[in-house]
C-alpha cells in the first residue's frame, strides 16, 4: 500500500514522530476543547479549569507555530519544488493539517492580548469555541485524507517492486538459477550420477 506524506511522516522515526506531530497537539487541543465546554456551561472564569484552558490555548498555539514552520520548510516547499506530490489526496492531507493549526495560533494570539482586545470574556470564549471547531474539522479531514491510499487516484510508487505483502521474500540471484540449470542438464545428459534408489551411506 502506498502512503501519503502525512502518513509517512507519522510512520517514520517511531514513536517520536507520532508523539510530536499527533499525540502532543491532539492532547493539548482536546484539553482546550473540554475546558472550553466547561467554561461555556458554568461561566466560571477563575479557578483551575480556567487557567488550564488558558495554558492549553497558549501552549497548543505556540506549538503549532513550530510544527507549521517545520512542515512548510521540510515538506511542502521541497516536495512542491521536486513535483513529488502523491496526487491531490496527498496535497489535501498535508495542507489541511497545516490549516488546522492556524485557528489554534489565533487562540494563542488572543491569550497574549494581541488580537480581539475589544471583546469581553464571553466574546473571547466564543472565538475560542469557533477556533476549536475549525481545528477539529480540518484536523479530521487531514486524518481521513492522510490514511487514504493515493494509488486510488493513479499514483504509482517510484519503486515498482515495493509490495505491501510478503516482506520475507528471499532474494535469489539469477546466476544461482543458471548454475542449477547447468547441473540439471548434466544429470539429464548422464554426466552426473543419478541415484534413484536413494542415498547410500
> Helix count (H) and strand count (E) of the chain?
8, 0
Q: How far apart are CA 94 and CA 101, in angstroms?
A: 12
Tell me if 104 sits within 8 A of 130, measured CB to CB.
no
Which of left, alpha, beta for 105 (phi over 0: left; psi -120 to 50: alpha)?
A: alpha
pLDDT of residue 101: 96
> pLDDT value at position 173?
44
Q: How far lies 189's CA from each of 73, 181, 184, 185, in Å?
A: 67, 12, 9, 6
Three-class SS state of 162: coil
Every domain of the chain and the residues it spans:
5-153
Give the span between the Cα atoms of 140 and 138, in whole angstroms.
5
pTM of the model: 0.74
- What is the reported pLDDT for 40? 86
**Residue 26 half-sphere exposure toward CB, CA atoms < 13 A:** 13
What are the 10-residue block averages of pLDDT along the chain, 201 residues in total? 90 93 94 91 89 95 97 95 94 97 96 93 90 95 95 77 37 45 50 49 49
Amino acid at each position: 500500500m502506498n502512503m501519503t506524506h502525512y502518513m509517512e511522516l507519522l510512520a517514520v522515526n517511531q514513536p517520536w514522530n507520532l508523539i510530536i506531530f499527533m499525540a502532543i497537539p491532539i492532547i493539548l487541543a482536546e484539553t482546550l476543547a473540554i475546558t472550553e465546554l466547561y467554561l461555556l456551561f458554568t461561566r466560571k472564569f477563575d479557578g483551575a479549569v480556567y487557567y488550564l484552558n488558558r495554558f492549553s490555548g497558549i501552549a497548543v498555539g505556540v506549538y503549532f507555530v513550530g510544527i507549521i514552520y517545520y512542515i512548510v520548510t521540510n515538506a511542502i516547499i521541497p516536495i512542491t519544488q521536486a513535483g513529488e506530490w502523491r496526487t491531490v489526496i496527498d496535497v489535501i492531507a498535508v495542507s489541511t493539517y497545516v490549516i488546522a493549526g492556524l485557528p489554534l495560533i489565533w487562540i494563542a494570539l488572543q491569550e497574549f492580548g494581541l488580537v480581539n482586545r475589544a471583546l469581553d470574556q464571553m466574546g473571547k470564549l466564543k472565538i475560542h469555541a469557533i477556533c476549536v471547531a475549525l481545528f477539529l474539522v480540518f484536523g479530521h479531514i487531514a486524518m481521513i485524507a492522510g490514511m487514504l491510499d493515493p494509488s486510488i487516484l493513479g499514483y504509482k510508487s517510484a519503486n515498482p517492486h515495493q509490495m505491501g505483502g510478503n516482506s520475507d521474500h528471499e532474494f535469489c540471484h539469477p546466476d544461482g538459477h543458471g548454475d542449477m540449470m547447468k547441473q540439471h542438464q548434466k544429470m539429464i545428459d548422464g554426466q552426473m550420477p543419478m541415484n534413484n534408489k536413494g542415498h547410500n551411506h
